[in-house]
Amino acid sequence: MIRRATVLLAALAALNSCRQPIEIDTRAAEGIPAKIAIEGLRDLLPKAAYLSCGEPRVEISQSEVTSWTVNDKGVELLTKTRGSFQLAFSAVRGTDLAKLPLSFELRVFAETPKEPRKDLFHFNWREQEPARRATELFEALREDR
| All domains of the chain in start order, with CATH | 20-140 (2.30.29)
pLDDT at 105: 97
In this predicted structure, what is the pLDDT of residue 70? Answer: 97
Predicted confidence at residue 137, as pLDDT, reads 97
Q: What integer best gives the mean pLDDT of the chain?
A: 90
* pLDDT, position 15: 54
- Model pLDDT, residue 83: 92
**For the segment 127-139, what is each residue's pLDDT rounded down to a tens digit?**
999 999 999 999 9
Flag residues of the chain having pLDDT under 50: none
Q: What is the DSSP letter of 29?
A: G
Provide the pLDDT for residue 16.
56
- The DSSP secondary-structure symbol of 112 reads -
